[in-house]
């Protein structure tokens, strides 16, 4: 790739991923608005539907969010009755995040969302699976690179 070619926007993997992320998030919006949550709140609920409870630290790691982003979002979710935040009795620095009954009820309403998104994107199941494998592999490599650059 020549230098001029290398700097074309349509040759940037970062931009393709960024643009896809924005467009995919837009696809989710109407479904999530119907159940009264935002896309980042949906991601929190996905984790809690899997686990039932987690810590702020683990939730931040899992969703690649820092506490400055996560704390106000969880506060809003708690005010809306979706989650509860509790300090650990063993270590007050640890904040547990627990799914409430209301948060659990939303799961039923959200059940159809993944299938609807797959349909609207128009990829076959095979293409969807292959893309997910590639993106997960990229994420692992980026994390490995980030950690190795910290130690240098």
pLDDT per residue rounded down to tens, the chain (152 residues): 557 888 999 999 999 999 999 999 999 999 999 999 999 999 999 999 999 899 999 999 999 999 999 999 999 999 999 999 999 888 989 999 999 999 999 999 999 999 999 999 999 999 999 999 999 999 999 988 876 766 65
Q: Is 37 exposed, middle or buried (0-12, 13-18, 19+ CB in 10 A)?
A: buried
What pLDDT sits at residue 88? 86
Residue spans of the domains in the chain: they are 3-121
What pLDDT sits at residue 148? 72
3-121, which class in CATH? mainly alpha
Nearest of 82, 79, 97, 68 to residue 32 by alpha carbon = 82
What pLDDT sits at residue 150? 61
The region that residue 83 occupies, defined by phi over 0 for left and psi between -120 and 50 for alpha, beta otherwise, is beta
Q: Alpha helices of the chain — where are they, by DSSP H?
A: 3-6, 13-34, 39-51, 56-63, 67-79, 101-110, 113-121, 125-151
Reading the block at residue 45, the tokens are: 């609920």
């Amino acid at each position: 790739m020549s230098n001029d070619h290398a700097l074309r926007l349509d040759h940037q993997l970062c931009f393709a991923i960024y643009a896809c992320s924005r467009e995919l998030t837009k696809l989710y919006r109407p479904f999530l608005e119907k159940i009264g949550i935002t896309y980042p709140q949906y991601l929190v609920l996905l984790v809690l539907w899997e686990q039932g409870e987690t810590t702020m630290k683990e939730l931040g790691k899992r969703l690649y969010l820092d506490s400055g982003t996560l704390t106000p979002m969880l506060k809003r979710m708690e005010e809306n009755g979706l989650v509860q935040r509790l300090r650990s009795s063993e270590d007050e620095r640890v904040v547990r995040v627990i799914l409430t009954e209301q948060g659990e009820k939303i799961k039923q309403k959200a059940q159809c969302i993944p299938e609807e998104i797959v349909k609207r994107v128009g990829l076959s199941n095979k293409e969807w699976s292959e893309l997910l494998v590639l993106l997960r592999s990229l994420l692992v490599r980026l994390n490995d690179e980030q950690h190795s650059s910290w130690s240098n």
